[in-house]
Amino acid sequence: MPFVKEKFHIEEGTIAFLYVMRTLNYTQGQAQRHIAKGRLIIDGESMTHTGTKVQGDVEMVFFRPKGRGVRPTFQNNNFMVFEKPSGVLVHPNTMATPYSMLDEVRSIAGDNANGTHRIDMETSGLFLASKHKKAEHHLKSSFENRTIKKSYLAWVDGKLTEPFTSTERIKVNKEGYEETKHKVFISDEGKTAHTDFVPLEYDANLDATLIACYPHTGRLHQIRIHLFHVKHPILGDPIYGASYAASDDYLDMTQSDEDRLIQHGAPRLMLHAHSLEFVYGSRFYIESREDFVSQKSLIYPPEKRVFNKSHLQIPKDNPQFKLN
């Protein structure tokens, strides 16, 4: 378990954040955040006052990485690039998360190493992590400023033959999930979003198209919602393109393996982070070595899978879309 609780004994009264800094080798900011999150415990209760003196027996909850020996496909003194498997989180979402890519990142480069961008749990492919705080700031700023170029590969439902662009605005769903499990949706009130798509290969037996995806913005679920919106959802997507009941079963972890195939078309989200291009001193172009194309063997036959067309939207007044 990456998050552990350990007991410590403090002989002389010490300011709380200083004790955490010295014990866990944290910076002052890290120590203060650690205490603010309630991870310094005295007599069974969390204390959150960073300047208070502490003495005697205390407990601390902290992240202790437990890597599984996954090595970066590329690394230098500043950053690492991993091939993230589908089904693995990039960062623990609760203290009970048993494993994430952060375990590998910090097992290799220590407590100041960190992931620099988000990838959905079910998406596979390239994951960029910093080795120190200066690199983390540079790379996160590069993602925010859109100077890092990314590409993805996806297997989608149906036939696409021509390149197209989606500039549909995306809005985060804050109204609840009574009618849909979608975390985002297309709305004129949403934030600007831009994705280019290029079909690469069509498999008639699977009625599935392999497409390259080039996001120019970084909205939540951007590629997934843009493809869903043009009636070609990503195969295996448990949220976009699925019925409410099927998505609910998936999120409640009550869905059987067979139902996952029938309702969503594949046992995983068929989306793969394929390449990264950025500048860090030199210009880097890094491409995934994984054979994602052959992952089409996971796709369920079209006559056996369900495609919930009733939940799909048709793009309005956009001549760039060519639907099949």
User: Encoding tokens for residue 262?
Assistant: 């029938």
Q: Is 227 helix (H, G, I), strand (E, B) or coil?
A: helix
Say how many residues make up the chain.
Answer: 324
Distance, in Å, from the CA atom of 55 to the CA atom of 306, rounded to the nearest integer, reads: 62
Name residue 78's amino acid.
N
Active-site amino acid positions: 120
Residues 6+ apart with CB under 8 A from 202: 159, 160, 161, 208, 209, 210
If one counts every other C-beta atom within 10 angstroms of the C-beta of residue 76, the result is 14
Q: For residues 62 and 4, is the Cβ–Cβ distance under 8 A?
A: yes
298 beta partners = none
Q: Which of 157, 158, 121 is nearest to 250 (CA)?
A: 121
DSSP 247-275: HHHHHTT---HHHHHHHHSSSS--EEEEE
